[in-house]
Structure 1
Amino acid sequence: MILDRFRVEGKVAVVTGAGRGIGAATAVALAQAGADVLVSARTEDQLRKVAAEIEAAGRRAVVVPADLSDLSAAAALADRAAAEFGRLDIVVNNVGGALPRAFLDTGYDHLENAFQFNVGIAHALTRAAVPHLLAADGGAVVNISSVMGRVAGRGFLAYGTAKAALAHYTRVAALDLAPRVRVNAIAVGSVATSALDIVMTSDELRSQMEGNTPLGRIGDPEEIAASVLYLASPAGAYVTGKVLEVDGGIDRPQLDLGLPDLRPPAPQESR
């Protein structure tokens, strides 16, 4: 049956940023489709709740609380998964983010930090995972990118640049690792996670975002998780080096941050 292609029975996955939102939904979805899952994020009690859902689906969970901005901690997840479960088949790089800033408030350090957080962590874990993926029956890597890596939004210089880099990293890594390891990404639109708490609690902001989305609503984490499952499972076996846009159809930023145009400095009075 065609639905069997979406099963990942007996596979092992690592999911980062798995304490809540997209990462948590993805970890549970992979477990419900048959995988054992190592989950990692900063907050242990959140991970324990996700692990309980994984175990309720009849699969094994390993909880690794860690600050993954430490690249060695991120890389160590691959060996830990292989040691605990005996193999590694799927990596979901879900760590990322950067606060919006006006152009002149965005220093080099903000760009550097955004790149490391959104690309560096993904590379550290993926690089460490590759020997294990090759030792299995081939593997799949799914990177969580953003629509802001594709569309231009005022205030998103660091974040948009980093997510665009992650999208192209996906294409290049897919070529480097073919044919045994597939690498794809998802360009996520606005999804109802803790990152949008301010929006979800404001009728005005939520209406603005929904009005700028062709499908007229904000996404659900499970919709991203379903897309991850497609790319990680045999259903996506002929897909690599692609960025799947799961964004409600948007082609521009959904929220105007209200940043003004830059103005020339006022002339100084002569004395």
Structure 2
Amino acid sequence: MAEQMNDKTMAGGDAGKGAVAGAGAGAGAGDGEVAAKTGAAPAPAGDNGLASVAQIVELADQLSACADQLHERIMRDIRAYEEGNVPYRVQTAARTLLEDELLLRQRANGLYADAATYIVKSLGRPQQKLVALTTAAAEKIRKITLIGDVTGLVAGLLHLAGAAATGQAVPVIMALDNLHTQIKVLESHQPRLPSRPEPSQRMPRWTKRRHEGAAASALTGHRFVKLADALVGTLVGTLVGTLVGTLVGP
């Protein structure tokens, strides 16, 4: 099952590699075409995101990276069962997420192929924040404990990919806000280790007294051993002296 899912999904992801290469090679030409049509130079990367072909391609790269992390995380869960039967609920969740992964790759490939038509005017969000957000999403997918917990996050990525394909600022901003919310939800649901209390706080008084008594007994025992050693040494010395005196005689 794992091999079938892997081959089928990755085949869908590989379908757009030719378009990826073409978009990467023609990014500069696409920027020039857009500038010629609009009569204005593309907005600086620091001011507005998705304002050039190169930035659209960068988003497609980020979405593809998220799809890669999702695929790896799904297959890790499946392979954990080795030769045993994968439970039905796990199979269902895996199939659903693999379908989402394939759809995410398709939308990323669409951005690669038609990057010049998806340039957003005056997004009002810097490209760096967009990249940071999608990078955080990929990291959450990689580290998530239960794979089923990422369904909302994956939906947010699909929303962003679809919004970017509109070339409109408002849908993209709404998708970015939604993705940010999904990441925060995951962070709030992650289990946190409780802070370690002080010894006096984490043990009852009677337990504390018992431990103190044990410590005192241990200390007393240590002193007793030292005293016994000293006593034995004295006795041995006395016996040896007496024995030598007896053997030698007056």
Mark yes or no: TM-score above 0.5.
no
Higher helix share: 2
Q: Which is higher, the Rg of structure 1 or of structure 2?
A: 2
Q: Which has the higher strand share?
A: 1
TM-score when normalising by structure 2: 0.31
What is the TM-score of this pair, normalised by structure 1? 0.29
